[in-house]
Structure 1
Amino acid sequence: MPTAPLATRYDGLVCDLDGVVYRGPHEVPGAVETLNQVMADGMRVSFATNNASRPPDQVVDHLRALGLEGGSDGSAWSVVTSSQAAAAYIAGMAPPGSRVLAVGGPGVHEAIAEAGLVPVTVTELHTELHTGADAGSSEGVPLVAVLQGLGVDVTWTELAEIAYRTQAGLPWVAANLDIMLPTGRGPAPGNGALVAAVRTATGAVPHVVGKPAPDLYDLCRERLGCSPARTLACGDRLDTDIEGANAAGLDSLLVFTGAASLQDVCFASKAIRPTHVARDLTGLRTVVPRISDVPGDLVSVRGDGTIDIAPSASAELVLPAVVAAIWAALDGGEQVSSDPAMWRALEVAAGLA
């Protein structure tokens, strides 16, 4: 069992944003204060977001408005988007100055230019075609790929152009496959929904760089300058944040301030299980054990599938002990109750309610 706070056991943190640091425009309580403290103690932080529509500078401004201190030039913290990861992937297979068909919001276009490539819009492409230029080229320079990220003004014409280009053999890179975008009015179609439209029409399959693929995590870790063993990933979603961390070979921290519930984590398949769990980001400053290291006598699963917590279980160990015991039971073929009353009681005992 560890004796030092979680943050001191790693050099770098790859941290999700929505549901971890903020919810919409508002800070998750304690998140910014915790981040300021761990960075003051020497931890470097890279905020990894699947949101490909906003340029990093807009996210930086949001974080500063919430009170995050220090610069964002990589010395203390920085923001990395899935658009940047997608542009970096394309830059790795094409020479500088190559032209990339850009479909999505401003973040897509800025990421392509930042990577030393030239973003080309569908409108510009159609203008070239109407003026007699060869399809997909200008002054003899062909398109090398299409990058698709979320944009609120993406049109049928743009989706159709992606379909035409991919069927003609142009490499297709998608920033992410997030089906849903949370908005103030409720769920709206995300980039994954638009990608699915093209896939359904053509059968083509894009290379995806956003979570849960490892590309975004790899780029964040490279910018942090940390080894995989000394990098911790933190998020609130099992199927993106945690699965992506596992794919990238990183330890992970799942926090319960966003999408995942205690029951979700306890019933998670092995591919999406986190290394650590904590109520919120303040867990970085506490002695959070690896779930695999929690003593097995603190929580047990009875024959009827209900959970028994030993009186000797300290408050800070109940949460990881519950998760560890249920994983062990399920992996051993035992049944675990889904009774809502039991799960509400477990959340109270684990400090989540």
Structure 2
Amino acid sequence: MSDLPFRRVVVIGAGLMGTSVGLALRRAGVEVFLEDLDPANLRVAVSLGAGKPLLTDAGTAAETEAEVDLAVVGVPPAALGRVIADALARFPAATVTDLGSVKAAPLTDAGTHAAASLDRYVGGHPMAGSEHSGPLAARADLFDGRAWAVTAHPQSRTDAVETVEALALACGAFPVRLTPAQHDERVALVSHLPQVASTVVAGMLTGAAEDHLVLAGQGLRDVTRIAGGDPELWTQILSANAEPVARLLHEVADKMHQAALTLEKLEPASSAVDDLRRSLERGVTGVGRLPGKHGARPGVFAAVPVPLPDQPGELARLFADVSAAGVNIEDVRIDHSPGTPAGLVELSVHQGAVPALLEALARHGWDVHG
């Protein structure tokens, strides 16, 4: 990507997100330098090929800091404002952006620490991640097809905004322009509220008897998966975006209370049955509104379940057989069967591809049913 508006990029913070940015930019042929307060994180990120250390063993910069075109700050939310201000001072010719989950609070904090204008700073937030943390969880394709919020403020230079949008595109994402306040309102609904809801449900499992948990299926795992995120990181995120998240939680609590009242007065011929059905239908409608690939409207997909022996190489064999049939897998879920040497793989494919897929899988010996 020789037409990119940056040649040398510094990534400050070699955790999951920063290392993934480094890997994505290296994939695009960009020269990347890395910095992290934790020497172990830095060593791992460098060993993965995410970039070179910014500082030499002697503590001097491997590159003249004035020659850095773009600085990407990937530190925890509580430190974002200070590190953004520091990056603006250290890299005087660079556009500065960040990867933080909250935008308004770090912008305000950066303003209190910065010695000069924030015109070279443009906030950024790739809408991708994992319940795992650290550089070992990083991937070059983490941002592929994902939205990347670009949150300019009134003083942001036009060329700085364009540079951050180019960063998103170079990492495989598609940029979405928002103000910092708009961003925080929207991620409160699509990211922070689900995290709290998942955490509450998972927390209820701590007092459950073992013979209850043995019945857990994929539905519970789906709901609680993101509850495995780093508690310290999420404490900082939720604290920085507390007001909009609290408002949504009150709304959810009201709806949950109404659902409980509906269930309490449920009788076969009562109007409560209709209320319950409408509530469930509203949930189906909400799921249907979630965007598909690259933020586009979702297609109509069909789920094809395939029993999978719990043996090495079976998943790879299944994917190879699907590929040989010329069918693209839009999504995949794996449901493990407790106590049995098998699982169930659910392949999401376009509705029109189902007949050919079923025929091909049956021909290769897979146990499928139309």
Q: Structures share a fold, TM > 0.5?
A: no
TM-score after normalising by structure 1: 0.31
Structure whose alpha-carbon radius of gyration is higher: 2
User: Comparing both chains, which one has the higher relative contact order based on Cα–Cα distances under 8 Å and sequence gaps of 6 or more?
Assistant: 1
TM-score after normalising by structure 2: 0.30
The structure whose residues are more often strand, as a share, is 1
